Chains A and B, each alone.
Chain A
Amino acid sequence: MTYTTRKSGLLTRRHALTLGTGAAAAAMLGAPVIVRAQSGPVKIGHLTPMTGFLGTLGGWAVEGASLAVEEINAGGGAGGRMLELMSEDSINPENGATKAQRMLEQDGADFLLGEISSATALAISEVAARNEKLFMAVGPRSDVLRGERCSRTMFCTDIPNTAMVNAVGTALKQQDDIAGKKFFTLTADYVFGHDLLSAAKAFFDRNDAELIGDELIATDVTDFSPFILKLRQANPDYVCLNLAGNQVTNFVKQYAEFGLPYPMIGFNLNTADAWAAGAGNLSGTWPTVWLHTLDTPESKAFVERFQAKYGKLPENHSWISYIAVQIMAKAIAETGSAATPDLIDYLESGAKFDVMKSRPAHFRAEDHQLIQEAYAFTVKDDGSYEDVHDMLELSATVPGAEEALESIYPSTEGGACKLSL
């Protein structure tokens, strides 16, 4: 950059002409590449955080997506076309957007897939919309991605914040009458946390529970002791966590260290954060989109295949990334195309997808949310398990078998999401 600036005085008209011709030639060279790409492999631009406070989750996502691609290619590809996964660290919203643009423009990605951070997903979604390419937002959970900031080119696979709050809320109400109970929330200070907090507030209001304190916590905070002291001063009935990534692990470990008596619940947890917390530190009821103990034949088989390849249990981000790639492969096979308009039409058609759960999933056409079952899980008592991987126990499938799948998702009626824009 500085180089060109310094030399700009020397840029003569002839140079400019040469540059222009070069650009034109490059454009012409580019044309046949695009033609060839239609029969060549389908390129997936996969972005997910591998550094920063969500960085520990990204590795799981890459492993899940890679396993899916490997299996699909071994089985002859998606409708006969091989998949090529280009995985990169999205880092943060600015870098994520820049890399998304580069993947679409220079690397020839047919569509984008991935992400865990809601903030980065919003940035990538804008790039996808501008380029009229599909973005399968795999891991972000903010309601706004399905609401005010939804996009015709974006589809969301993970359960949104409202569904997570509903999943835990349903389980919590079965254990305890929460009317009149005092909750103190700790919230990750970015779009995801804010959004989760408003879903939590709506839940408290509906059930006459009282929110007696709320702290917004920067994502890079690693020492929670000042907040734990504040908690004790507030003396709540429940400590309620709306934290994300490493924040959860850090808080949970330090909360156990101080040994405060208030029971903990949370509206967001990834299995990896729970495992990282270690034995005896985590307690309470939490939501999840999937857990490796899920008792269906498809899910058990997936866990086995994952373990065979990586020698460890899959995490929920591995699962959701695997599912997202499988969904895209099915869409490509069914439509015989990797072009965004065809894929959008297909995904909006209400096509059913096997997501290894007791009921199949489908995308809701109004807000592009994948409608699927969610779960609550509880943590077994300290000392009743040998290994952290046995620490979590699925407690409830939400919604129950007799209720409509959509009942736990935010309503789209009069909703903020306007896909035509």
Chain B
Amino acid sequence: MQLFFLLEQVVNGLVLGGYYLLIALGLSLIFSVGGIVNLAHGAFYALGAYAFVTLSGTFGFFGGVLVSPIVVALLGIAFERFILRRFYREDPILSLLVTFGLALVAEQAIRMIWGSAPLAASLPRELRGSVILGPLLFSKYRLMMLAVIAVLLAGVWVLLNRTSFGRVVRAGIQDPDMVAALGIRLQPYMTTVVMLGVGLAALGGAMFAPITTVHPAMGAEILTIAFVVVVIGGLGSFWGVVCAALLVGVVRGVTVFFVPAASEASMYALMLVVLLLRPRGLLGETIRKFES
């Protein structure tokens, strides 16, 4: 019985990890390609949730989940074109300040547009409930989310590793000057990467809105965890981030099982251990352009 229960927590942790992954993957991509630590990433997650609540009134639940990330991804294009683009080659402290400021502006903008009180959002009745497999219990909705995340993940992997688009992006991560010398402009690629990262974060917000409090500071809440995941996974590594997200989820689930009070602290302890053993993170790669 205890063993089953532990297993249940492990699987539940995997689902949670999938959700962290949606936010962490974009964060990692934007850093790898542009060298920018995007502190405004959480804001896009929050915007995704708010856009979902607003749009699901008109388009229904599934329409909201689908349209909200698209709308926010379009915002992401503007964000890259008018703000991020100016900071790729600047001192990282500048982009840190700008994105931090932007996160504050976004949070206040949300307060001004939607008010500071949390917004109501519910799951449609048919998506509620649990799947019971023998002694194990899983939330139906979370299993669906896990499936969606797995498909998206596969899509992103294929895009980065099996397409010419991906080859340019990966080359750009390592050596942007060489890419430029070959006559390829990295800018449109950057726009796409930011759009993708921001869209994934917004999708996370939209999918989680029905099962978490939709409030203006929700972006700041998730950003810390996303950073922990990126740091544990190692910068520039797709699979590093994937492993780290799932690991953080599982470690939290298992900690709740044994020491409930330590569940929040567990991921920081994990980060400490990983960084002591592997300072670059689990699968962190050497990124040539950051080494000088």
A contact residues vs B (CB 8 Å cutoff) = 50-52, 55-56, 58-60, 189, 215-218, 220-223, 225-227, 229-230, 232-233, 246, 249-250, 253-254, 256-260, 272-273, 275-281, 312, 315, 382, 388
Contact = CB atoms under 8 A, between A and B. Distances in A.
Contact of A229 (B117, B121, B137, B210): B137
B12 A226 contact: yes
Contact of B261 (A216, A223, A249): A216
Interface stretch (B37-45, B194-202, B226-234, B249-257): B249-257
Nearest to B255: A226
Q: Which of A220, A256, A279 has the most CB of B within 10 A?
A: A256
Contacts of A227: 256, 260
Contacts of A58: 116
Interface stretch (B72-80, B184-192, B214-222): B214-222
Nearest to B125: A280
A273 B12 CA distance: 25
Contacts of B130: 258-260
B263 interface: yes
A276 B128 contact: no
A59 B116 contact: yes
A187 to B, nearest CB: 11
B261 A218 contact: yes
Contact of B212 (A50, A216, A222, A259): A222
A258 B260 contact: no
Given A218-B263, A226-B256, A275 B137 contact: no
Contacts of A259: 128-130
B122 interface: yes
B16 interface: yes
A402 B223 CA distance: 54
Contacts of A226: 9, 12-13, 252-253, 256-257, 260, 263
A87 B220 CA distance: 23
B211 A56 contact: no
Nearest to B119: A276
Contacts of A312: 115, 117
Q: Which of B12, B122, B123 has the most CB of A within 10 A?
A: B122
Q: What 7 A-B pairs have minimum CB-CB distances, sorted nearest first?
A: A276-B118, A226-B256, A278-B120, A259-B129, A278-B122, A59-B116, A249-B213
Contact of A55 (B119, B141, B215): B215
Contacts of A215: 260
B157 interface: no
6 contacts: A218-B261, A226-B256, A229-B137, A258-B130, A276-B213, A278-B210
Contacts of A189: 261
B5 interface: yes
Contact of B213 (A50, A250, A279): A250
Nearest to B12: A225
B215 A276 contact: yes
A68 to B, nearest CB: 19
B174 interface: no
Contacts of B264: 218, 220-221
B116 A50 contact: yes
Interface in B1-45: 1, 5, 8-9, 12-13, 15-16
Interface in B117-147: 117-123, 125, 128-130, 137, 139, 141-142
Contacts of A223: 16, 212, 252
Nearest to A247: B213
A253 B208 CA distance: 10
Nearest to A259: B129
Given A229-B5, A257-B141, A275-B120, A221 B221 contact: no
